[in-house]
A = this chain, B = another copy of it.
């Protein structure tokens, strides 16, 4: 079953206390795909300029990433430059240059339009709706957004929410969208606007899966070394959607396991700059961390211990 991601394919320059990158592979669609492809093949829809290091993308193709839906147009690729605080808890955007992304209009080949699992990365909700209009029979549509769209295109975003199955945002976005600082009320507020599932990412504190009448918390993997948080949320989404595409299921039990795969991919993502946290990684490595992860959240039954 086809897994589709629509999002940015960017060049990131990131400064952290532990090092820096310049014009490195980045963007939501890239982070998503590198993670998801460890579990299931991915098709990417996006746009790059004629300055993009295409060879670096193609080097990733054998993992199971199909870049054929990435338009190559004249002009400069999307660039983002950011700097993290000493404890990686906050970041400052130093520069955003939209370049060819400013006029991006997603084009879906028939195979992409037939996708069963669709992730609408953080782009203009007008474009997200546009993609959604052209996907013919999805089993699961998930989307991300950010404060910028919440503020500038709230009406379109609310229309989009009515049509997606799952919203995946971070805690500050959930709070801003709902206008409620209590994260559980914020989640319920979102559920009442359309999605059947809400995933709220909380960085080093893990992530919440909120569904009508129940919720689930997944911690972050305990890491003593974190190098670059950029893209961790998209890697989480990639693990989450990649797992569901592989399982060919939107069963609620699978969603909880999808959270484990999401958190696992997030943990690999932050362990290296740009997409280096995934370098040399195999599906077996992923499964091993998933097992460790499940062990570290396991609560022994009372029968066994009292």
Residues of A within 8 A of B (CB): 86-87, 89, 181-185, 188, 202, 204-206, 208, 210, 214-217, 219, 222-226, 247, 249, 251, 253-254, 256-257, 259-260, 294, 296-300, 302, 304-306
Contact = CB atoms under 8 A, between A and B. Distances in A.
Nearest to A217: B219
15 contacts: A182-B226, A183-B204, A184-B222, A184-B223, A188-B224, A215-B222, A216-B297, A217-B222, A219-B219, A247-B306, A256-B299, A256-B300, A257-B300, A257-B305, A260-B299
Which of A208, A215, A297, A299 neighbours the largest number of chain B CB atoms within 10 Å of its CB? A299
A298 B254 CA distance: 12
Given A183-B204, A216-B296, 6 more contacts: A215-B222, A217-B297, A249-B305, A254-B305, A256-B299, A257-B300
Contacts of A204: 183
Q: Chain A's interface: helix, strand, loop or mixed, by majority?
A: mixed
Contacts of A206: 205, 217, 219
A224 B297 contact: no
A206 B96 CA distance: 35
